[in-house]
Structure 1
Amino acid sequence: MIYDVIVIGAGSMGIAAGYNLAKAGKHILMLDAFDPPHDDGSHHGETRIIRFAYGEGASYVPFVKRAGELWRDLETLSNESLFLQTGVVNVGEPTSSFIQNVRTSAKLYDLALEQYSAIEAMKKWPGLSLPGNFVACFEPTAGVLRVEACIHAYKKLAIEAGATLHTNEKVQNIIAGDIVRIQTTHKVYEAKHLIVTAGAWTTELLQTMDITIPVTPTRKTFAWFEAEEQLYHENVFPAYCFELADSLYYGFPSIDGAGLKLGRHDGGETINPNDPLRPFDEQDAIDLQNFINRFMPQHGALKFGKTCKYSMTPDEDFIIDFLPDHKNIVIAAGFSGHGFKFSSAVGEALADLTLNGESNQDLSLFQLSRFN
């Protein structure tokens, strides 16, 4: 049997691509080394931020706006609550690149953005403590995605549309050609087209084809803290992003009574994705504790921390492109840190690239050739 498309990696990007291809009537096989959603990639941990006035650059805005539309569609199709409109507050010095990009994005694309001084922000959100030289840019239409629920929804719809999903089946080898051959721990599969969305494992998979891409698997941590619900509940406190002089932090209000969630975006240590992650430890806790003590001092005790795998490109922009010399193989990689919110639109774009050779989205920022 020769499939129309095989998708390697059925996490956030792959499951969305599989759904779009199956919906288009294609014969699809999705392969995953685990059983999504799971704790071995970068899509676990309950929540991810979705924001539209984009701190990483205004060029991302059309793509994330499309992603927002598709998440709303998915809510309707699945009859599940996937998006919480908590708003997102971006905090830092007015000269910080993140804050400037947020303001530029909002102005260029006419996005709702409320701007506050430190004193005004602390009055609006009494759980905050900010230095006098900081500003806060609040995006009321932004919010939080329930990540595992999003993946469950796409998984259910993809299978209902006719896609085949094989879980706990690790791919060992890719042999390119007019018909691509995929060797797994179980058997060999063949397809006319291949999509690789394998997260931290993308680099090693492509090495089986003697192709090297600059994506580095990285260990990251995040944690939950006890929270005074009157100050930090999802109905009164937003998700947040802080750009400090030497670091970037992000986090979430207390959702469903879980407590304040906090993570650090920058830094982390390079890992082999096949090795067990070093568990969340005291040093991880100290770093997050220092931040929350300073900016949200009315928090409670640390509840627990978790680890996850990022996969980072040198410029922290994504890779969404055909492989050189292989026009039937598309890769999507290097998303971690800010990719999950885009996965609905990435899935659509990957299906379009595979079916039509092009996407309605401008993907020029994500071309592999930029690293040449």
Structure 2
Amino acid sequence: MHYDVIVIGAGSMGMAAGYFLSNSGKKTLLVDSFNPPHNKGSHHGDTRIIRHAYGEGEKYVPLALKAQELWNDLEKVMGKQLFLQTGVLNVGYEKSDFIQNIISSSKTYSLPLEILSSIDVNKRWPGIILPDEYIGCFEPTSGVLKCEECIEAYRELAERKGATIITNSKVKEIMVHDKRVTIKTDEHTFSANALVLSAGAWSGSLLSMLDLNLPLNPVRKTFAWFDVNEDLYNHNGFPAFSFETFQGHYYGFPNIDGSGLKVGRHDGGETINPDEAILGFGELETDAADLRQFLQRYMPYTQQLKYGKTCMYTLTPDEDFIIDLHPTYSNIAIASGFSGHGFKFSSVVGQILSELIISGKTEQNISAFSINRFE
């Protein structure tokens, strides 16, 4: 069967792209190896942080603000809450690049930001104990996205607009010929005028079929939930957080509807083959121990480990994204290498991918995410 566009990988970015393409009137097919939302990639675990004043660099701020606008639009269309405005507390050494980027981007884009001493943080949130050498940067308008519900929403809307979604179907071959693309799975062959490839940890092997060898490194990551005193850590008064400490970079979420305090480590992780079984949470001794030492030091009033999960990051060497057209085939758009901080942008990345396919360009500045930076 022939389509206007095929999307390989219907997770965070791909599902959003499928919606925007089908909403633009394109006959769209989405193909995924699993059944999104699923726990085999980078989009599960209930929640993701959305930050606006961005520690990873000012180039992300316009995308974050547009993404927030699109998430708000999605909430209105679906008539359900997908975003919780808990605020986000960023913590770190005052002179670090992470903290300085947050402060400078808030000034450049006139974003609300409260700069707090360690004493201020300790008073405002008694569940946190910060050492003197750290400061806090609190973003009151940022917060938490319900990640799996966001993907379910884009999936429902894409199907309403006529998109076809084929699940539990792995792409085995991609061929490009005469400005057409053909893909083969075990059971089917499909063709299209254009292709979007957004396959997460599997992007490397699929891109090799398109003569691209990009430096993508899939790594195993862990996160876990802990029982807490709700008076200290409930989402009505406690923010999502990102801590750049001397021990590592940690992030987390308040107790939401009795879930417990969720915490994970952003840096580190073991390189994996996504086609092989990944060790579950707790199969490495360091999984729980690493998170416990963070909590004991900075949030010591947390209690028992409830449970943990694993996911995958797909890292680029500079930990910036890849969002670009294929250097040879202008009818192929690629989104990959989101390096553990991409989900919040998936609404706007989906829109960008649809614009690249429809017109070959986008209103957003994606020059920093070019494929040719790796040449």
Output one character per residue of 1:42-63: Cα deviation in whole Å (capped at 9) or x when no partner. 0000000001000000111001
Counterpart CA distance in 2 for 1:209 and 1:173 is 10
2:215 aligns with: 214
1:321 aligns with: 324
Counterpart CA distance in 2 for 1:185 and 1:12 is 24
Identity rate, percent: 56
Greater shift in the superposed pair: 224-233 or 168-177: 168-177
2:58 aligns with: 58
User: Which runs of structure 2 are paired with 1:332-347 in the superposition (5 Å)?
Assistant: 332-347=335-350
1:269 aligns with: 270
SS in 2 for 1:353: helix
User: Which runs of structure 2 are paired with 1:48-87 in the superposition (5 Å)?
Assistant: 48-87=48-87
1:197 aligns with: 198
SS in 2 for 1:327: coil
TM-score (norm 1): 0.99
2:362 aligns with: 359
1:126 aligns with: 126
Counterpart CA distance in 2 for 1:356 and 1:95 is 42
Q: Shift in Å at residue 210 of structure 1?
A: 3.2
1:168 aligns with: 168
1:93 aligns with: 93
Counterpart CA distance in 2 for 1:162 and 1:325 is 30
1:254 aligns with: 255
Q: Shift in Å at residue 208 of structure 1?
A: 2.3
Output one character per residue of 1:107-138: Cα deviation in whole Å (capped at 9) or x when no partner. 00000001110011100000001101210000
2:291 aligns with: 288
Q: Shift in Å at residue 161 of structure 1?
A: 0.6
2:38 aligns with: 38
Greater shift in the superposed pair: 239-248 or 158-167: 239-248
Q: Shift in Å at residue 209 of structure 1?
A: 2.9
1:331 aligns with: 334
Output one character per residue of 1:50-84: Cα deviation in whole Å (capped at 9) or x when no partner. 01000000111001100000000000011121000
Counterpart CA distance in 2 for 1:48 and 1:332 is 19
Q: Is the 8 A contact 2:54 2:60 kept in 1?
A: yes
Q: Shift in Å at residue 97 of structure 1?
A: 1.1
Count of matched residue positions in the alignment of Structure 1 and Structure 2:
372
User: Which runs of structure 2 are paired with 1:217-256 in the superposition (5 Å)?
Assistant: 217-256=218-257
Residue of structure 2 aligned with 1:304, choices 290, 307, 311 = 307
SS in 1 for 2:323: strand
SS in 1 for 2:331: strand
SS in 1 for 2:165: strand
SS in 2 for 1:156: helix
Q: Is the 8 A contact 1:70 1:345 kept in 2?
A: yes
Q: Match for 1:327: what amino acid? A: S
Counterpart CA distance in 1 for 2:70 and 2:40 is 26
Q: Is the 8 A contact 1:145 1:341 kept in 2?
A: yes
Q: Match for 1:81: what amino acid? A: Q
Backbone CA RMSD of aligned residues: 0.8
Q: Is the 8 A contact 1:86 1:237 kept in 2?
A: yes
Q: For structure 2, list consecutive stretches of 5 or more residues without a partner in the other structure.
A: none
Q: Match for 1:93: what amino acid? A: Y
Q: Match for 2:372: what amino acid? A: S
Counterpart CA distance in 2 for 1:176 and 1:256 is 48
Q: Shift in Å at residue 211 of structure 1?
A: 1.9
Counterpart CA distance in 1 for 2:113 and 2:322 is 29
SS in 2 for 1:37: coil
Counterpart CA distance in 2 for 1:230 and 1:70 is 33
Q: Match for 1:290: what amino acid? A: Q
Q: Is the 8 A contact 2:320 2:339 kept in 1?
A: no
Q: Is the 8 A contact 1:122 1:130 kept in 2?
A: yes
Q: Is the 8 A contact 1:48 1:146 kept in 2?
A: yes
Counterpart CA distance in 1 for 2:316 and 2:270 is 14
Output one character per residue of 1:231-260: Cα deviation in whole Å (capped at 9) or x when no partner. 000001000001113521100000111111
User: Which runs of structure 2 are paired with 1:4-19 in the superposition (5 Å)?
Assistant: 4-19=4-19
Q: Is the 8 A contact 1:42 1:336 kept in 2?
A: no
Q: Is the 8 A contact 2:41 2:312 kept in 1?
A: yes
